[in-house]
Amino acid sequence: MTLHFSRTHRVIAASVGMATITALAILPGAASAAPAAEAATRASAAPADAATLSYVVNLREGQGNSSRVRKAIEAAGGTVVQAYDRIGVVVVHSADPDFAKKLRAVRGVASAGATRTAPLPAQSTTDVGAPKELTAEEVRAASAGAAAGEDPLEPLQWDLKAIKADKAHEKTLGSSRVTVGVIDTGVDDTHPDIAPNFDRAKSVSCIGGKPDTSDGAWRPFATGGSPHGTHVAGEIAAAKNGVGVTGVAPGVKVAAIKVATQGGGFFYTEAVVCGFMWAADHGIDVTNNSYYTDPWYFNCTADPDQKALVEAITRASRYAESKGTVNVAAAGNESYDLAADSITDPASPNDSTPGDRTIDPSRCFDIPTQLPGVVTVASTGAKGLKSSFSNYGLGVIDVAAPGGDSTAYQPPQAPATSGLILGPVPGGKWAYMAGTSMATPHVVGVAALLKSAHPHAPAWKIKALLAAGADPTACPDPYDIDGDGKADAVCEGGRHHSGFYGAGVVNALNAVR
């Protein structure tokens, strides 16, 4: 059984205030069916010159802001957009199709590559299908069932109980001195569940590879925007304020680092590099990365362009970690075994004409998910099993957390009614989503609670505590999520470290004890 989802789980949820909550249209159906409609045409604003592409040029160690390389960039028809001298990465625009090849021959250049395979159209459209709505009666019932100290919709958040976040909140909500950066599609900081904890000074748009600090640049696009980043931010830090839902760490701050192009679409290397660099230099304690870097699902280092993308983002993420930032990323939603000998990737490059290719996961990397030092997160459902869609792999997955699953596969206990994850979306509304994108913010929230308890701990210590405090989870035998009598995936490893759950499911209560 294979259910295909996009990494960012871009789905639009139409709801009206507190009266209606909407389930996303990515809900998995029967094993033989594709997920419910989430057909999205992804696009972004085209460069001024339709033939212009964006590139990253990685300098050799010790070159710094080499004037020789800058002159070579100009001589090859390139224009420097942004230079990150601290890691030796330069973002360049050029209309010369041989630009990268020319730069690779320049002394002092380690690698260079195009971050995309084709210029993109100026307009974008999104066709998401009909959402599934909860009734007003169900919303009222949930609110009426809220216990003292709970937010109105908290009874629907089975995921909080799954990681003992509800018990952790009895001890602490986290420190306002801790800031989480959501590297994503933008965050609606006016949402009543997010506004109390939003950090405007540490928020930015990194689209294009250069920081844009103009007011509101961090918000989702008004046209063709995605609710993804807002939902993620709320899962982490929705305030415990008598409104809507509660985040895993409702006392910490959250900042938006927007990197996705219009339409909620492409997360290009130059924007991701900018995002990690911004986080590193602005005191971000933990980053949430619920995406893969377009246009390649897996970046193969034998290809000179893809090699350059891996190197640029590796440098940026490592720099962030050296500054104390813990980077956490989603494992992905294609049911891939990331530790297999080979994987068929049908989706790359996704900004021109994708085609099937067989890749070696030991040489081709999902970035930033499979980069050194990044915490890789698998998803579980309401019954605690690996989500039907979640990628996995022994030695690849570090920890697991609730990301939801089809209610038919893993129904929650009452009063919760959906097996998906409830969170805020733009416009003061709330909606359900599912995916490893939703699992990752649970891990980020627990990491933020750990940082609150250990404010001077370096990134490696927080990561070690995160794994040590997780609940060891044994492999299911067999894993037959759809009940058809056939194993849907094979889990390798033991109770304390497995391909499905890594060190286990994160535990918020252990983080605050």
The CATH number for 217's domain is 3.40.50.200
Can you tell me the mean pLDDT for 19-28?
A: 34
Q: Which two three-digit tokens encode residue 22?
A: 């909407």
What counts of helices (H) and strands (E) characterise the chain?
A: 11, 23
What is residue 64's predicted lDDT score, i.e. its pLDDT? 58
CB 218 within 8 A of CB 189: yes
pLDDT at 26 exceeding the cut of 50: no
DSSP code per residue over 253-301: EEEEEE-PPTTT----HHHHHHHHHHHHHTT--EEEE-S--TT-SSEET
Domain assignment present for residue 413? The answer is: yes
Same domain for 147 and 110: no
**What percent of the chain clears pLDDT 70, i.e. is strictly above it?**
84
Structurally, the chain folds into a number of domains equal to 2
Domain assignment present for residue 395? The answer is: yes
Same domain for 158 and 64: no
* Residue in the structure block whose two tokens are 């390649």: 296
Same domain for 137 and 107: no
Same domain for 91 and 201: no
Same domain for 173 and 267: yes
Q: Domain range for residue 303?
A: 132-470+507-512
Same domain for 142 and 80: no
What is residue 147's predicted lDDT score, i.e. its pLDDT? 81
Same domain for 376 and 263: yes
The CATH number for 90's domain is 3.30.70.80
Q: What is the pLDDT of residues 252-293, one digit of tens each?
A: 999 999 999 986 589 999 999 999 999 999 999 999 999 999
Can you tell me the mean pLDDT for 80-94?
A: 96
3-state secondary structure of 439: helix
What is residue 47's predicted lDDT score, i.e. its pLDDT? 39
Same domain for 456 and 345: yes
Cα 290 to Cα 279: distance, rounded to the nearest angstrom? 15
β-strand partners of 328: 288, 375
pLDDT at 454 exceeding the cut of 50: yes
What is residue 35's predicted lDDT score, i.e. its pLDDT? 29
HSE (side-chain half, CA atoms, 13 Å) at 197: 32
At 134, is the pLDDT very low, low, confident or very high (cuts 50, 70, 90)?
very low
Same domain for 71 and 217: no
Domain assignment present for residue 207? The answer is: yes
Cβ neighbours, 10 Å, residue 101: 14
Same domain for 147 and 66: no
Q: What is the pLDDT of residues 176-226, one digit of tens each?
A: 999 999 999 999 999 999 999 999 999 999 999 999 999 999 999 988 789
Same domain for 362 and 272: yes
At 46, is the pLDDT very low, low, confident or very high (cuts 50, 70, 90)?
very low
Same domain for 335 and 385: yes
